[in-house]
Each structure stands twice: as C-alpha cells, then as structure tokens.
Copies of this chain bind each other. A is one copy, B any other.
Amino acid sequence: MTDTSHRHVPSPGRTGLWLFGARGSVGTTAIAGLAALRAGVADATGCVTELPGLREAPLPAWGDIVVGGHDISDAPLHKNAEHLAEAGVLPGRLLGAVAPQLSDVESELRAGYDPLTHQGAAVLAAQRMSGEIVAFRRRNRLRRVVAVNVASTEAPAADSPEQHDLAALEERLHDERATLPAGVVNTYAALSAGCPYVEFTPSPGIGWASLRQLAERMGLPCAGCDGKTGETLLRSVLAPMFAERALSVLSWSGTNLLGGGDGATLADPAAAASKLESKARGLAELLGPGVAAPLHIDHVADLGQTKIAWDNVHARGFLGTPVTLQLTWTGYDSALAAPLVFDLTRLVAMAHHAGQRGPLGALGCFFKDPLGDAGHRFDHQVRQLHEWVRATAAELEGRDS
C-alpha cells in the first residue's frame, strides 16, 4: 500500500446504505452529513476510512453511496435536520446546501416495524421490508446495500431458543401471537434481502447466534455491536495503559448524561440495561474480573444532543499508593456516530465485494461489544483493522489483475 497512486482496483461500486431508524438523530446526521460531504461543503473529519493506510483501499466513494431506510416515525427529514441545527450538531449554513439530497432520501424512506402496533405474524413485516430493500437496490441500480441499525436502543431479551437457533427463530416469526424485538425483525429482513448487516446499537439483532446463522447461510458479512464513540473508547485505550504499567485498577466508576432521543430511550432502565451490559463486558476483559464498575446512564433532557461522560478510576501502584484518574468527555453523540456509520458502510461493502461472510472481527475498533475475536484493546483492534484492510485490498487487487 505504500505506493497506491497507480492502482486500478475497481471500487465496490454503487452501494446502498439502508438505515433502520433513518429519521433519528444519528440517521438524520448521517444523511445530512453525507449530503454535505457529496456537496463538498463539509470535510471528512471523524471518518476513519479517510486516514492514511485506509483511504487507499477500494472503498465506495462518497458519491457512490445512496441512502434509504425504515423508520417507525414519519417526522420529515428536513424538520429533523432543522432540530439538529438548533442543537448545534449541523451547522445552520449547511441546511440549504443539503436540502435537495434530503428530499431524495425522503423518497426512499419506508415505514418501519413497530412491535407495539404490528398485527399478525412478524414475518409478514419482515417480508414487506425485505421487498422494499430489494426494490430500493434495483431502482437505484446498486451493486449491494449495506444495512445499518441506528434505531433507538431496545431492551435485552431474556434468553430463549430463538436466539440460538435459526429454525426456532423462524418458527417465532410465523407465530401470530409472538412479539419480537424490532431489531430482530429488521436484521431478518435485511439479511433475507441479501444485505450485509451492521449493528450500531446494543439492541437484539445480529448479536443473536440464530441471525448470524442466517448471515452465514446467505453468504453475507456482518458487524457489531454498539458503536464505540465516547466513554468506552476512552476505556479501551486507558485500561490497557494501566495494565501495561502494572498498576492495579480497583474500581472504574462511570456516569453518562445524555439528552436527546437516545437519552430518553435509555431513561427506560430496561433499555439502559442493554447498554450497560455491553459496556461492562469490555472493562472486565481489559482489566480482569474483580474491578468494581458502577455505571449509570441518565437522561438529562436539557443537554440536547450533548453527551457527557464522567469516569473515576481508582488504582493502586507501587507500595499500595493510590493513583486516581478522573475524566470528563463531552461531545455531540450523533456527530461522533455518523462518520463511523460511513466507515462501516464502506468497509463492509468492501468485505462483501471480496466475498467475505459472517462476523467481521477486524471491525472491532468500531464497537463497544465486538463480534468476532478482536478483543477490546483499542490498539490491537486498530492494528487488526489496518492489517485486514491491507490484506483484503491486496486480494481484490490480485483478483482484478
């Protein structure tokens, strides 16, 4: 990859990005942000795939990506974009430049599956949605469509056979009295439509073994779970630092303050449980068991799109002396997430182009709770990503010549 100027590797070509939860904060930021990138009125700050060593790979160009999606809300995209502009996430001056593209995407959005109001077997919804994605692919002459879940977080489900076994899941999908999480029905619909799948939330979905069986059967790659945008990102670089200095971490306490839609969802303790579980797993892997790690997510509506995380790390060093680290991270959640959605779409498109299937462990650096075997250490994850991109690009190059 050192000299890439003369390569002629074909990019994966026109690629669809299908957003479950397209009208939410992350969805709208991604749609408006991509429009701004294509219009040349924003730069790619925050996009990992624009870094040296990655940007030379055969990835879809910004202009190759076409967006559609499902959402249970029908609030107009342009209204959502205005709200995000008021909240400081989108610069107000961009609204005009992206309006035409927002209008195009608006025409590609369809009604999502809502377990609270759906009548009949869930499979009917899945089939309808699957058909809509296929029609989107054909209508826009796309080589492939990558589905990404950015809908509101759902509660984790109690253990049950349909999580582990595809046949059991399909039985439930056909059961008129059964209720299934939206994330599960969405994943089933996307995979059935032949779409690689990215789980950007901790909701039930590709985290279920049964749905990964379907991905394998369909020959599709997948990635997840739960985008790593703030506190967990910091933990995945700082916890290894303590370990490499042989300092003994005793407790790692955290508080997350969130406004906006995501915060409201997580005010429901059941939904928050999902998030807290995926956060806790990482810390235990990085530091071993026995580290006290109380963690809270609070909905603080007046913070708007801002999220604030505070962590208190208490460790012991030589001769039992105390070491403490306190950190406060403040950012706009949607603006941290949107560029990673682009990265994942481009990388998963490349993987699909290269014929890879199943969980893409090499994308672990993007997730709080990574599928595959990347582990939680950020430095290891980043190295694995670079190596995988290099190898996949080389393979595609070889195939092409």
Residues of A at the B interface (CB closer than 8 Å) are 29, 33, 36, 42, 44-48, 50-51, 88-92, 94, 233-234, 237-238, 240-241, 243-248, 250-251, 253, 255, 257, 292, 294, 296, 298-303, 308, 310, 312, 314, 316-332, 335-336, 338-339, 365, 378-379, 382
- Contact A245–B233 (Cβ < 8 Å): yes
Whether A48 contacts B338 in the complex (CB less than 8 A), given A251-B302, A302-B292, A379-B379, comes out as no
- Contact B302–A317 (Cβ < 8 Å): no
The one of B29, B94, B300, B331 that contacts A251, using a Cβ cutoff of 8 Å? B300
Contacts of A90 in B (CB 8 A): 319
- Contact A91–B319 (Cβ < 8 Å): yes
Whether A310 contacts B47 in the complex (CB less than 8 A), given A237-B237, A319-B335, comes out as no
Contacts of A248 in B (CB 8 A): 45
- Contact A331–B317 (Cβ < 8 Å): yes
Query: Nearest Cβ in chain B — how far from A361, in angstroms?
Result: 17
- Contact A329–B319 (Cβ < 8 Å): no
CB closest chain-B residue, reference A328: B326
Contacts of A292 in B (CB 8 A): 300-302
- Contact A51–B244 (Cβ < 8 Å): yes
Contacts of A320 in B (CB 8 A): 42, 45, 91
Known: A33-B318, A234-B325. 14 other contacts (CB 8 A): A45-B319, A46-B246, A51-B244, A51-B246, A90-B319, A233-B241, A234-B241, A237-B238, A302-B314, A317-B336, A318-B338, A319-B335, A324-B331, A326-B326
Q: Which of A233, A237, A296, A365 has its CB near the most chain B CB atoms (within 10 A)?
A: A237
Contacts of A89 in B (CB 8 A): 319, 321
8 contacts between A and B (CB under 8 A): A45-B316, A46-B318, A51-B244, A51-B246, A241-B378, A308-B312, A322-B330, A326-B326
Whether A92 contacts B91 in the complex (CB less than 8 A), given A294-B300, A316-B45, A338-B318, comes out as no
Whether A327 contacts B327 in the complex (CB less than 8 A), given A244-B51, A296-B255, A312-B257, comes out as yes
